[in-house]
Every structure is written in C-alpha cells, then in structure tokens.
Structure 1
Amino acid sequence: MSSLEEQTIERAQREKELDESQKPSKVTQVNKPNWKYAFKRAISEFLSDGCMDLAAALTYFAVLSIFPGLLAIVSLLGVFGQGEQTAQAILDLLAGFAPADVMSLIEEPITQLTSSSAAGLALVTGLLGSLWTASGYVGAFGRALNRIYNVAEGRPIWVLRPLMLLVTAVLVLVVVLMMAVLVMSEGVINFISGLVPGLDLSGFAAVWAWLRYPVILVLAVILIALLYYGTPNIKQPKLRWISPGALIALITMGIAGMGFSFYVANFGNYNATYGAIGGAIVGLLFLWIMNNVLLFGAEIDAELERSRELQAGIKAEEDIQLPPRSDAQTQKVLEKKEKLVDEGRDLRLKNNGVDFSAMADEKENTSSKAAK
C-alpha cells in the first residue's frame, strides 16, 4: 500500500490526465444518487478522519487567536469612532446563541479593550498579534483539510507561512467588514449623508436595519469558503464563494449554538461541577462544537467533489483525484523516510542471526559472578 506522500506525488503526476470537462460544473448537476452517496460518505469520513480530535486542536489555536483578534477589530474600528459600538455589537451578536457562561468570560476583556487609551499602539500590536496567532489557527485548519482530502503537505515553509498569513489577513478584513456592517447605525448613515451635499439616505436607514443581517450572513459564508479554499494543499477547480459545505456549516453552527446554549441554561450545571473555571469549560466546549461543524462542512464539500468525479467516470472511490498545489516538500519528506527505512534495514541485516537474549543472559550471569 502506498504511503500518503507517494499518493500525493502520484496525484500531482496525473494532473494532466484529468479531464475536468467531464465533471458536473455546478453542484446542481450532481444527480440524486451521488448527493446521497456524498452525505453518507461525509459522515463516515468525518469519523474515520478523526475530525473530533482535529476540532480539539483547532479549539486550542482558536483560544490563542480570540483576544488578539478582538483587539485588532475593536481598535481598527475605534479609529473611526466606532470602538464602543463595535464591542457592544459583538456582545449582542454572541448573546443570541452563546451560553451565558461564555458571555461572562469574554465580556470584561472586550469592554477593557474599548476603554484603553493607547489606541494607536493597540492597533499596531493587535493587528500584528492577531495575524500571527490567528495564522496558527489557519495553518492548523489547512492541516486538518489535508487529512480530509487525503493529501500530504507539499508546500515549502517559505511559501506556506506567508500564504497562511495572507489568508489570515483577508479573513480578519472580512470580520472587520462584518463588524462595520453590524455597527452601521442610523447615526453613521446620517453622518455619511452629511458628507456628500444633496445625498439623502434617510430612507435607506430603515431598510438597512433589516438588510444588514443578510449581508453579514453572506460575509460569514464567504469567510468559511475562504478557509475551505485557501488553506489545504489542494488545487480545486475554482473558488466557490458559496459552497454547499459552507452553507450547511453556517446553518448547523447557528442551530448547534442555540441548542448548546439551551442545554447549558437548562440542564448543564458547569459552575457547580467546575467552580470558577465553569465559564472557561463551557467556552472550550462551545468552540469545539463550532470547529466540529466547520470540519463536517469541509467533509461535505470534499465528498461532493468525489461525487462529481465519480459521475464523470473518474476512479475516485478510494481517493479524491484533485491534484496538490505543490509536491516539492513531499518529495523531500519521502526521501527522508526512505533513507530512515534503509538505515533501519541495514541495522536489521547487520544484526541478523545474533541471539540477543543469549547475550543478555550471559551479561546477567557475568554481573552475578562479579557481585559474589
């Protein structure tokens, strides 16, 4: 059986042989049996890929990223005088589906961020810190998706790290845009209207109060799609801004968040069990559930790609045949592994025929005689 590195190299070599024109170009062209197969296999692969363990690793990186990220977002919008409104909007948004214990855990740090006087320094350190720490989450997400697509990481570190930082920067900008949309109140719209003579946006303010939530949902779907497309070592046919996996993940995250909040409020007494750290435990569980949902959405997209390949007659029942973006590092890893295997084989052959148990007994007898 070929190793993961060998399979990745083989997929890179077969890239020119793949005929993308035979695959359904739209998910709506995937037939019903293939849709059914995709969902059934997504559940199976989610379990066999150990996605629950991967979600735990992502939760760790998410914890490292949350507060630097919030610092950057609040500070950036604070430059435009929207810092306090942003903080309150974040808290109001989270209060809709996050458990009360989670809210109590993050409310004070967010409030302190808005009251900080070092806005310029906070902006610089927050942006740099959030990019670096959040890129750890993005990198871990990419490794998780590599497992989902059954491909080895082949991009060199000097290519991979800047790419993860770039993806992180784009994601942070999307989140900043989401927060800006959220805090754009009637006062802000009137302020913009006053900057342009003759521009009357008074009627738009009432419409915007309802329109901004669909805009936020679209931005959230785009954010998830960027994670799915930009992080793994997979050369996908095209960037799908609104993929089925992203939509399902977003809907499931909302349902799971409200369900978990209801459970904690009515059945789970974490404070009685864990005391002062009850809120932290609930927060970690909440993040773990959200990351599980994100990985399940990625599994759905991966299995839909497999279904598209199967419908086109491509042999994808064992491995999805999308080529890797790069196999340069994979070649080096494989060479190192082969060198270690050869070294181990040489050791075995050199020691072939030697009775090590007899040598151990003889050594023990010699030690006993010396002791007497």
Structure 2
Amino acid sequence: MSTPAVWRLALRRAIHGFVRHRGIDAAAALTFFSLLVLLPGALAVVSVFAIFDDRDRAVDDLVAILDVVLPDQAARDLEGVLRELLSLGNPYLALAIALVLVLWTASGYATAFGRAVNAIYEVEEGRPFWAFRGRMLVVALVLTLLGAILITVLFGPGDLPLWAILRWPVLLAFAVLFVAVLYAYTPNVIRPHLRWVSVGSSVAILIWIVATAGFALYVRLVDHGAIYGSLGGVIVGLLWLYLTNAALIAGVELDAEFTRVKQLASGEDVARTLNLPVRDSRRIRMLGRQRRADIAAARELQEDAE
C-alpha cells in the first residue's frame, strides 16, 4: 500500500473512531479535570510569588502575565482576587497544600485520560484501583514538573534576544515530552516500539497550535467581556482547554490507526480490533467473577420464583 493510501486510510478511520468513541464527550470530561488542576495550580503559583517576591510587585507581574493570555479586562478583574490570595498569612503552608492538591487532581486527569485512551484502543481497564491510581500519581508528578517547566519557559523573562528565539524550540521539545508521557503511560495497553515522537502526538500538537492561533484571533475579534461580563475570561479559558483536550484525543486516534496499519501490513487480522498486550488484567478478572456471581444469583432467584 502506498504512503498516500496509508495516510488516507489512517485519517479516515481516525475521524470515524473519534466519532464512535465519543471524542467530544471525552474532551469535555478532560476539560473538567483540567479545571480541577488549575485551581490548586493557581494557588501554588500565587504562594511562590508570595514567598519569593514583593507582594505588591507580584500582583503586577501576575496581572501582566494573565493579560497576555486572557481577553481585555479579564486579568484586571482578577487583580482583587490575586491581592487577597497574596495576603496569605502562611504562604509556605498554602504552597504545601496546593502542591498536594495539584498532584491529586493531576492524577485524576491522568486517570480520565487513560480511560479515554483505553476506549480508543478498545481495551478494558485491568489495573486495580490502588495500582492504577498509584501509577497515575507518578505520571502526575512527571506531568506537573513538565508543566511547571513549560510555564516557566513560556512566561519567563525574554529580555535576552537569543533566549527570545530559543525558547520556542525548547517549549516545543517539552510539549512533545508532555504529550508522549500522557500517551505512553496512562492507558492499559503496551505500545510496541515506543517512540517519544509519534505521528499522533505530532499531529495533536500541530492541531493545538493551529487551533490556539485561530482561537486567539477569535478572542481578539469577539468582546467576551461585553457578552458574559466578568465570566468572559473563565469561558474563554474553558473553550481553550476543550480545544486542547480534543486535539490530544484526536492524536491518540491517529496513533491507534497507524498502529493498525502496521499490523495489517504484517498480516495480522486487526480490521476490527487491535492486537496489543495489556499491562494488567486483574481488574478484568475480578469484574468477570462478580458478573458471573450476579448472573448466578439472578438465575437462582428466577428458579425460586417458578
């Protein structure tokens, strides 16, 4: 099969899979979990500013950063909230609590993402809760560190002309690593020949860049503050998070279909389901035993009624 034919088949099946696996619903659920991460994340950032920076200047710095990514006046609307948060009596305690909450909510996001990927690869989640959530806590720690680096690179000082240029390839490299960790370590499948840069992750990042640019233009043209008032910034943020998660789900679909194409080329019968090993099947066996016990109890009740 020629390369254009392979791409056409993979793209067509990925689009169909996005619809069949309810990618829109998965992106909406992931947006909710993303929002849960942002709340303690904001508290952590504010606490760091309160510890290491002059508090009045910290508010000005944070508002200046938010003014870059939020619509007009949205950052100013948050200025009072930021001043109140920066007046924390014990910022060290606030930072500790915020970091614990970030890890727990980020592990919730990783858990939800893993289930979405399982649906795409059409496998059951076989890891027991303690093993699954424990693994997701480790993944969350890695993602939190990568996210902190991404934020630092993106919003850090760009006064040096050389760094102003180099920050973008550095940002792209860490974004690729962030997506690769999500794709590789959250689902219950083991990808053969794991690659940090896959077709799906590359397309997902490209879709995200294009969608972000288009969304930024949309935000510039539409005055959300006049329509939604002080909630305009929140709504814009949620829409951007939704586009981000939809792009990530689309990338997984594409990776799954390119894996299918490779298996088809090797002679495997994977037209319906992929042939990939699972990490764990203990939960699947447990649920199977429970289901058989439920069926047996239902039949016993039916026999007694007769």
Which residue in the other structure is 1:151 paired with? Answer: 123
1:65/1:133 contact within 8 Å kept: yes
Q: 2:105 aligns with which of 133, 139, 150?
A: 133
TM-score normalised by L of structure 2: 0.85
1:216 alignment counterpart: 171
Task: Give the corresponding residue for 2:147.
Answer: 175
**Aligned counterpart, 1:244:** 199
With over 3 angstroms needed to count, the CA separation of the structure-2 counterparts of 1:34 and 1:52, relative to structure 1, is same
- Residues 74-130 of structure 1: per-residue CA shift (max 9 Å, x gap): 54587666997899589648835x655875676765676566563322321111111
Q: What does residue range 269-348 of structure 1 map to in structure 2 within 5 Å?
A: 274=228, 276-348=230-302
Distance change >3 Å, CA 68–CA 183, structure 1 → 2: same
Please point out which of 14, 22, 25 is paired with 1:53.
25
| Residue 33, structure 1, aligned to residue 13, structure 2 | no
Structural RMSD (CA): 3.3
Q: For structure 1, which runs of at least 5 residues remain unmatched after alignment?
A: 1-28, 188-204, 353-372
Cα distance in 2 for partners of 1:57, 1:337 equals: 27
Is the 1:89–1:179 contact (alpha carbons within 8 Å) kept by the matching residues of 2? no
SS of equivalent residue, structure 1 residue 41: helix
Unpaired runs of 5+ in structure 2? none
Contact 1:30 1:307 in 2 (8 A): no
Letter paired with 2:296: D
Alpha-carbon distance in 2 for matches of 1:183, 1:257 = 16
| Superimposed CA distance per residue, residues 258-317 of structure 1 (whole angstroms, 9 cap, x where no aligned partner) | 3233334435x6556655544433332332222111111111111111111111111111
Q: In 2 relative to 1, CA 279–80 (structure 1 residues): closer, same or farther, beyond 3 Å?
A: closer
User: Corresponding residue for 1:266?
Assistant: 221
Q: Secondary structure at the match of 1:233?
A: coil
- 1:113, 1:305 → 2: CA distance? 48
- Cα displacement (A) at 1:56: 1.3
Distance in 2, Cα, partners of 1:46 & 1:100: 34
Q: Which residue of 2 aligns with 1:121?
A: 93
Could you say what secondary structure the match of 2:111 adopts? helix
Q: 1:310 to 1:154 in 2, by over 3 A?
A: same
Question: C-alpha separation between the residues in 2 aligned to 1:145 and 1:86?
Answer: 39
Equivalent residues of 1:69, 1:134 under 8 A apart: no
Which of 134, 142, 163 is matched with 1:162 structurally?
A: 134
Amino acid at match of 2:285: Q
- Partners of 1:69 and 1:130 within 8 A in 2: yes
Q: Is the 8 A contact 1:34 1:311 kept in 2?
A: no
Letter in 2 for 1:47: V
Q: Cα distance 1:95–1:246, how it changes in 2: closer, same or farther (>3 A)?
A: farther
Distance in 1 between residues matched to 2:290 and 2:206, nearest whole Å: 44
- What is the aligned partner in structure 1 of residue 189 from structure 2? 234
Q: What letter corresponds to residue 259 of structure 1 in structure 2?
A: G
Q: Distance in 2 between matches of 1:106 and 1:245?
A: 37
Instruction: Provide the C-alpha distance between the structure 2 equivalents of 1:65 and 1:287, rounded to a whole number of angstroms.
Output: 12
Checking the alignment, whether the CA contact within 8 Å between 1:101 and 1:283 is kept in structure 2 is: no
Q: For 1:235 and 1:82, locate their aligned partners in 2 and report how far apart those are by CA, in whole Å.
A: 48
1:51 shift after superposition: 1.1
